[in-house]
Amino acid sequence: MSGTTDAGWGDGTRSVRAGLPDPVPGQPFLPGPVFAAPYHLDPWQGPSAAANGYGRPDNPTRRLLEAAVGELEGGDCRVFASGQAAITGLLLALLRPGDTVVLPADGYFPVRAFATDTLAGIGVRVLFAPTAGPYPSFDGVKLVLVETPANPGLDVVDLAELTARAHAAGALVAVDNTTATPLGQRPLDFGADLVVASGTKALTGHSDLLLGYVATRSAGLLEPLTAWRTVTGAVPGAFDAWLAHRSLATLDLRLGRQSGNAEAVARALSGRPDVTGLRWPGLPEDPAYPVASEQMRRIPGVLSFDLGDAERVARFLDASRLVGAATSFGGLHTTADRRAQWGDDTAPGFVRLSCGVEDPADLVADIVAALDAAGPPPG
């Protein structure tokens, strides 16, 4: 396992210390990014003499970030240029023609599109199952990928039960941990073989970079993933890696405010007849609550609901002063995304709301006022 973080430390301490090098007098806490394509080579020994030879496979700034994320996830990590690069790299590195993969039917839409367009095209058998089940038989399945909480519907699956069932059938399990982050849950602790995530979102949280990662405790799985990244070149730039590592220090603080804001907003919306389909796994009445409350260490700052149609969503966003119209989630600013506009198979009025770090009272008041101004739903 990467790093030396004390397992007894709290989330805030671990986030601040993750992946930092040993202190050296006169040097910064986190060294600045190393920008290099080639490095100087030893003229006699060549690349075997030093850790860095060429910037695609070798970069010290990227290795520090990998150590940090690996410490938080509890495994060894490889970072990628984006979350999509990480998850497609995982699927293509591990699956071969004739293999069968089970993917979430209600998960991230571009992953489903990639599976039907690319994986099926190279001879991989693709099955889909809802996050909350029911699941097909795992006999003959090579890999089960789950996303919990699911994006954007926020269903949750019992990871310990699912991994036990998959492993009994000989299948690997990968968990998309984007929505939860490693401070919300650590899938490797529940038996998952791999964790994959977009670091673009709540992990780094400042809406200023693209990043993905895969983590595992298996050297046999890490090696093909590393080789895939090297030959495809799906690496993040040094500055993005440095920005991401810098941002990790405030992860605990950001998640705490975002989760608190999501709870306040969810409770405010739960009594409104003009808001339907409200989902936030932290509400006791939410279908995912029984599993989420036992499995997750904190509930993310993302909720979803339906406002009836696209026009009412637009009126709501026009009226709001604090909710921006944007895709992605997990940033410092509260945003809302009408998923159907991206081709996702959701209802026209379905909204994924990502709570930022604004003052809870201000955010709730703004959302309530904007909903009132948007008028009643159609019909």
Query: Which of the residues are catalytic?
Result: 56, 108, 176, 201
Other C-beta atoms closer than 10 Å to the C-beta of 270 total: 14
Backbone torsion region of residue 191, taken as left when φ is above 0, otherwise alpha when ψ lies between -120 and 50, otherwise beta: left
Euclidean distance between CA atoms 365 and 302, whole angstroms: 18
Euclidean distance between CA atoms 13 and 6, whole angstroms: 9
Other C-beta atoms closer than 10 Å to the C-beta of 376 total: 10
Euclidean distance between CA atoms 289 and 275, whole angstroms: 20
Three-state SS annotation for 303-346:
EEEECCCHHHHHHHHHHCCCCEECCCCCCCCCEEEEHHHHCCCC
Euclidean distance between CA atoms 55 and 271, whole angstroms: 54
Copy the structure tokens of residue 314. 């637009």
